[in-house]
Structure 1
Amino acid sequence: MDLGQVVHMNGGDGETSYAKNSFHQGNAVSLTKPIRDEAITSLYSKTLFKSLAIADLGCSSGPNTLFVVSDIIMVVEKLCQQLNHSSPEYKIFFNDVSGNDFNNIFKSLDNFKEKLQDEIKTKMSSCYFFGVPGSFYSRVFPNRSLHFIHSSHSLQWLSKVPEGIENNKSNIYINYTSPSNVVKAYYDQFKRDFSVFLKCRAEELVEGGCMVLTMPGRRNEDPCDIKYCCYYWELLAAVLNGMVLEGIIKEDQVNTFNVPQYYPSPYEVELEVLNEGSFAINRLELFEAYVDGSNHHEYVYNAARLMRAMAEPLVVSHFGEDIIEEIFSRHQKIIIDKLPKEKLKAVKVIISLTRKA
């Protein structure tokens, strides 16, 4: 299976699209703004580039993608005014897998540029936009071509399903019932992938270039802790296994379906950065974003739609189109029944890096 065709968010702007259901990721982008601003301010103040190349890796589509770009440009333009320096030429690269809805981004660019110019209120230099399809677990840019890299809610996706996990029966991810070899296989795949990611970015960034990465993760060192990261996949597994019992889905279909994701701890992220060796760590922090459970019905409804926006292409590729409505209808119902009514929190690992000389 080509994950580049199926591990992407729902495109378009319909009711089940990622563009309409990425509120949670948008909150994370806002939450991590101070660290992102700090990194781009430090980078630009030191060199005052005449041309600034910025890449958003795993950009997906929808408002969050352009919000990040707008935010970075606004910070640089404010610095230019303070330092009495002319605005740099901007080269903005949107990267995601080939199945991503790049057209959704491109259709929004004219309005985006007009709004950005109105907000800046001063003359800025030209801004060029590029779509760059391809997995970021390989090289996607020329040597020393980028100054700043941003990625949010993308690096939890692995390059492939880990090998040797055939005994993870009735599960679609790792949890407390998974054999120890399955847990190890997921972690080993994360280590390999993240190390490759760092090596590739080290070749593409200029010396002193910066990278800010945000990943859904976990607070503790137990990768099976469903409280923080695996709960929605656990509920989807329950739906699929229920459909097996009813004869709607074959048992082998569930046993061979595994989600290529891993939610790392801050320690695991730090360890791979240190082992790879190309980057200095400026900041490594863990955020807990609380979701108020007072409007439980609205939250549950939104959570179910977000899961569908993220998981549907992957689920369709394995189980087919015919039963997709039934799967996600049941998934929404089980989320309503099972999701706790207290305040919920999502854990984010954010790391700010500088390319070493």
Structure 2
Amino acid sequence: MATEQVLHMKGGVGETSYANNSLLQKKVILQVKTLLEENMISMVSKKMNIYCLRIADLGCSSGPNALTVISNIMNIIHKISLDLNHAITPAFQFYLNDLYGNDFNTIFKLLPDFYQQKRRDNVGECFISGTPGSFYGRLFPNNHIDFFHSSYSVHWLSQAPKDLAKNAEPLNKGDIYFSKTSPPSVYEAYYKQFEKDFKYFLKSRFEELTLDGMMVLTFLGRETSNFNTAQGVIGMVLKEMVKEGLVEEEKLDLFDFPVYYPTVEEVRQLIEEEGSFTLQTLKTFKIGWDANLQEDIVDYVVDSKMRGEFIAKYIRAVYEPLLIAEFGENVMDELFSRYAKMIAELIEIENLEFTNIVLFVTKNS
């Protein structure tokens, strides 16, 4: 089945939904907020006479985080406009983009309260619509969007690499992502797919962005020596389940996750090679796999078991739909129960952190 048909976060507002298990993603969005303000000043100053700013959030997913992004951007632009003594307070047209299977309805049900709050804040008129489709291709007319935003989306590939078999034998046998023990050809296949997708992404956004527009991307990356990934731990659990006859070995051997975590240098090089944008800011920051848990639970000590369960819940909300398509729904409870236990063990001996890459680019004339 095509990746874009099955790739989406877990919808709804249930206990295991993305809407209720995306605190880490929200923390990342809030952590980038200061950088947003610093980098948007020049863009806003060039759009003094714009009556409506058109802004797109690519890979918006489902739940309240999408509205947090919108609120942050509106507040930042309003503040900058006041500081620059702009005569016009712009209106905002927001386009929420994700793949066709995304649960847009969960966002739309939050809009009446959101619109009321924004009217009370008095930061400008706001209009929000959905734009389903893959961002690895065109989504908007030429020169239409003033500002592109994307958080935790661009590390997803349009598909898993196709060159992962030799003489009909899987090159990544027993693994679902590349690791320290993977053959060099597996890494090369993943990098080539990322290179192809990322350059197509940049080319598409170049056509859609206005001349004085800007784009900010936040996504998962890696340090050269760090191969600890959520996918790697899922692969370890699946191998256990294969040995016990709970998962078919052939399904594991043929499944590869459609994600790639690039290094900073790989990102810099691809932006320069593609040539559509000038890199204004490129930073990294780390965040623990269980970020937010200690902040949200203050009444008692958080042990490794609770940390493992917390991490397993949000990983499940992100990856379960994709895993169901490959391995079936009946093994999901067992898979993520084991995942939580394995994380609880790992977190005792390793410092599990995500490396985040955030970059701001402007369109080349």
2:64 touches 2:110 (CA, 8 Å); kept in 1?
no
**Which residue does the alignment assign to 1:11?**
11
Show structure 2 runs of 5+ residues with no match: 165-169, 295-300
What displacement does 1:341 show? Answer: 5.5
Residues 231-267 of structure 1: CA distance to partner in whole angstroms, max 9, x if unpaired? x222211211111111222110100111010001111
Query: Does the CA contact (< 8 Å) of 2:18 and 2:318 recur in 1?
Result: yes
Equivalent residue for 1:197?
201
Identity of aligned residues (%): 40
Distance in 1, Cα, partners of 2:350 & 2:251 = 34
Q: For 2:286 and 2:240, locate their aligned partners in 1 and report how far apart those are by CA, in whole Å.
A: 32
Q: Name the structure 2 match of 1:186.
A: 190
Mapped partners of 1:255, 1:342: distance in 2: 27
Q: Say which of 346, 350, 355 aligns to 2:354.
A: 346
Q: Which amino acid aligns with 1:130?
A: S
| Match for residue 335 of structure 2 among 318, 327, 343 | 327
Match of 1:88 in 2: 90
SS in 2 for 1:47: coil
Q: Is the 8 A contact 2:39 2:360 kept in 1?
A: yes
Superposed CA RMSD: 1.7
Greater CA deviation, 16-25 or 298-307?
298-307
Query: Partners in 2 of 1:208 and 1:114 — Cα distance?
Result: 31
CA contact (8 A) 1:208 1:356 kept: no
Partner of 1:269: 267
Q: 2:305·2:341 contact (CA, 8 Å) conserved in 1?
A: no
Deviates more, 1:286-295 or 1:62-71: 286-295
TM-score, normalising length from structure 1?
Answer: 0.93
Mapped to 2, the partners of 1:194 and 1:279 lie a distance apart of: 12
Give me the TM-score of the superposition, normalised by structure 2. Answer: 0.91
1:125 Cα deviation from its structure 2 partner:
4.2
User: Does the aligned pair in 2 maintain the 1:40–1:148 contact within 8 Å?
Assistant: no
One-letter amino acid of the counterpart of residue 80, structure 1 = S
Q: Given the alignment, which residue of 69, 91, 110 partners 1:108?
A: 110
State the match for 2:363 in structure 1: 355
Amino acid of the structure 2 residue aligned with 1:168: N
Q: Which amino acid aligns with 1:349?
A: I
Amino acid paired to 1:328 = F
Residue 54 in structure 1 maps to residue 55 in structure 2: yes
Rounded Cα–Cα distance in structure 1 between residues aligned with 2:239 and 2:128: 45
Task: Number of aligned residue pairs: give it.
Answer: 348
Q: What is the aligned partner in structure 1 of residue 281 from structure 2?
A: 283
Cα distance in 1, alignment partners of residues 106 and 305 from structure 2: 30
What 5-or-longer segments of structure 1 have no aligned partner? none
Q: Report the Cα distance in structure 1 between the residues aligned to 2:236 and 2:77, rounded to whole angstroms.
A: 48
Distance in 2, matches of 1:213 and 1:256, equals: 31
Letter of the 2:137 partner, please give it: S
2-structure distance, mates of 1:87, 1:173: 48
Match of 1:313 among 321, 329, 348: 321
Structure 2 CA distance for aligned equivalents of residues 6 and 60 of structure 1: 13
Q: How far apart are the structure 1 equivalents of 2:79 and 2:180? A: 50
Separation in structure 1 between the aligned mates of residue 189 and residue 239 of structure 2, nearest angstrom: 23
Q: CA separation in 1, counterparts of 2:349 and 2:180?
A: 23
Deviation string, structure 1 residues 114-161 (Cα, Å, up to 9, x no partner) = 12222x2x3x54321110110100101111110000001001100001
Say whether 1:304 aligns with 2:312. Answer: yes
Q: Which of the numbers 173, 186, 208 marks the counterpart of 1:169?
A: 173
Residue 147 (1) aligns with residue 146 (2) = yes
